[in-house]
Structure 1
């Protein structure tokens, strides 16, 4: 069996508290992504949640990262929070045609964060899941339906690997075998949040996607060494089963998120120049 790959990182990279801490003092902002990518192995792009980005932006971000690095791409709030997963084929086409493919071989999974008040509805959720492209061919088929209001759809697929999706439900009605089975049917990874309200570590796809917001202890102030060691052991087992793992520290303690991601990477025996 081929081992999977574990990548660790953060959600976003533009944070004032990182300047002079994670980012060296005096580092100019245009070089912050390159520095982050030299210490992390993946980053979740959050700008796509607010608005579709341009191909040139995706290409610029990819060019600032080393070989093997991956970005995950957050799905737009128009689909998740405004349309609430219904009647969203055109917004999906516009999103996929907007330029994520310009990341090339830096393109990782797409992640869809649902609003906390969106309850599980099997029919609408299944219809949404069926719309999500599973491979390059179905991606292009959907992206070609973009309305082209701002620019023609971007359809260059050089270097693009598997098309993957993760969904983060935040309503307790999703905590059912039926919801997990539906995600598994479509090979959608259920996001592992690691919170007191959502401590589960259910795997519903051939890869794992973690947005670590805990630890899942009511009294926890942040991730400590024991927490990192526990997660490293768990993720190593998933990796050894052949699963790729994407792990992002997205808790409110933004200051220490990069250190947490680096500690987890090192606990897994993954070294980068400068370690």
Structure 2
């Protein structure tokens, strides 16, 4: 992949108003409606990273990845591209979160720093059956380091039990400067309270019957919400626990189209990026037949 590595040092994404992407890059249905015909699977990340501005890596949730894999992913993508990572489930799917120190360290020391400047937020996803225990949850947050191998870390909390929709949770998340996932779903708690200096949204309503996953009006609305977040404001039409929380300075925004009709996720992400004024760089014509 030396050719792709060389391109990644010269071709870059112009800074978008938000990072918008999908979960992973290896999904068979995308070979029918996203990837060019005859594109080899080994070049799917190279292609996807030039049509989107971020990808959430989900394989890190299920098992430990190799340090060499993170380096390879870094080299296959253009400058300015960002990966977010789902942290290991062994750190979050446990009865006592305060006892997850070893699992947290194993994940963070697996080589994620090899992503370099392309290392984005770390998503800690909790089970829907895990209720909010203030003491235990704070003990977990205290285990999350600010950096790894010299790379600053940004932590995101994907809480999936209704008991987290409290002021006590928000105070803890803000104390530890961890963002809270806004989940666009009826299945999980959905609240847009700001708890960090960046925003992380996971949109889960892609419909198979819609070519772009979301209806045009819905994508227009998301474009407006992203712009509000990026400018330091708060979308007034999203649910919040504490509507009185003050808005702050401009924020970096991450939006991922996840779940739902996954085959439509790339189209939805591209449609939102277009509404935010971002243009994908041209794909090399010669790559389509390789």
Q: Is 1:101 the counterpart of 2:113 in the alignment? A: yes
8 Å Cα contact 1:4-1:245 kept in structure 2: no
TM-score between the two structures when normalised by the length of structure 2:
0.80
Aligned to 1:142: none
Residue 164 (structure 1) aligns with = 154
- 1:227/1:45 CA distance change after superposition, 3 Å: same
Structure 2 match to 1:29: 41
**What CA distance in whole angstroms lies between the structure 2 residues aligned with 1:96 and 1:122?**
24
TM-aligned CA deviation for residue 90 of structure 1: 1.2
194, 200, 205: which one aligns with 2:191 = 200
1:8 aligns with 2:20: yes
8 Å contact kept, 1:86–1:128 = yes
SS in 1 for 2:182: coil
Residues in 1 aligned to 2:48 and 2:23: alpha-carbon distance in whole angstroms: 11
Q: Verify the 8 A CA contact 1:4 1:240 in the aligned structure 2.
A: no
Segments ≥4 residues shifted beyond 6 Å? none
2:202 is paired with a residue whose SS is strand
**Helix, strand or coil: the match of 2:79?**
coil
SS at match of 2:29: helix
For this pair of structures, how many residues does the alignment match?
A: 246
The whole-number CA distance in structure 1 between the counterparts of 2:103 and 2:170 is 25
Alpha-carbon shift at residue 20 of structure 1 (Å): 2.5
Deviations 1:31-71 (A, max 9, x none): 00011001010001111111111110000001111111000
* Kept after mapping to 1: 8 A contact 2:17/2:276: no
Aligned to 2:204: 213
Q: 2:251 aligns with which of 243, 255, 259?
A: 243
Alignment correspondent of 2:219 = 228
1:259 counterpart SS class: helix
Corresponding position: 1:261 with 2:269: yes
Aligned to 1:87: 99
Q: Secondary structure at the match of 1:19?
A: helix
* Cα distance in 2 between the residues matched to 1:114 and 1:229: 30
Is the CA contact (8 Å cut-off) linking 1:248 and 1:261 kept in structure 2? yes
Q: Secondary structure at the match of 2:21?
A: strand
Matched residue, 1:122: 134
Call closer, same or farther: CA 1:84–1:52 in 2, change over 3 Å.
farther
CA deviations over 1:205-261 (Å, ceiling 9, x no partner): 10000111137xxxxx95211111111111111112210011000022111100111
The runs of 5 or more residues in structure 2 that have no matched partner are 1-14, 207-211, 233-249, 284-290
CA distance in 1, matches of 2:33, 2:88: 31
